[in-house]
């Protein structure tokens, strides 16, 4: 059983943004030398997320509004306490709900995805440089 890893750098351009990283993940995973196994895709940051979903313009817009729609009722008159420090509590809370990693099957060196599935990085506190870690376990 082999274990291998790589990093992908992603630079976001807006405060809230959906970035399709599928091609970068596929390219990097091919180079890891594991044909069949499990691929872990993980972001190192507390204000962005890694998800699998459809990359469609309307959904990208909806994803970008998701944190607002889920968390606005909890903001209250005084806001979130963390906003007094960095004004990004909503980004932290959204990433807790959506998660920092995804696990996918790996076949022929690339992640197995359904017809409409893409690997997306959801930026909640950009623009920033982001690091995505890939770890494969397999043969």
Could you give all domains of the chain from N- to C-terminal order, each with its CATH number? 2-138 (2.60.120.460)
Q: Is the pTM of this model over 0.85?
A: yes
Residue with the bigger pLDDT between 83 and 39: it is 39
Per-residue pLDDT, 75 = 61
CB 67, CB 35: distance < 8 Å: no
CB 15, CB 115: distance < 8 Å: no
pLDDT band, residue 89 (cuts 50/70/90): confident
Per-residue pLDDT, 78 = 66
CB 33, CB 4: distance < 8 Å: yes
Residue 117 corresponds to which tokens in the numbers above?
Answer: 């599935």
């Amino acid at each position: 059983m082999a274990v291998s890893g790589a990093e992908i750098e992603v630079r976001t351009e807006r405060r809230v943004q959906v970035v399709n990283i599928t091609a970068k993940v596929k390219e990097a995973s091919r180079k890891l030398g594991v044909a069949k196994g499990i691929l872990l895709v993980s972001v190192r940051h507390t204000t962005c997320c890694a998800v699998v979903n459809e990359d469609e313009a309307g959904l990208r817009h909806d994803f970008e509004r998701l944190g607002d729609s889920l968390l606005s009722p909890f903001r209250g008159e005084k806001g979130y306490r963390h906003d007094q420090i960095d004004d990004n509590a909503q980004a932290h809370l959204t990433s807790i709900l959506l998660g920092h990693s995804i696990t996918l099957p790996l076949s022929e060196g690339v992640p197995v995805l359904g017809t409409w599935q893409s690997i997306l990085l959801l930026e909640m506190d950009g623009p920033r440089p982001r690091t995505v870690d890939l770890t494969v376990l397999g043969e």
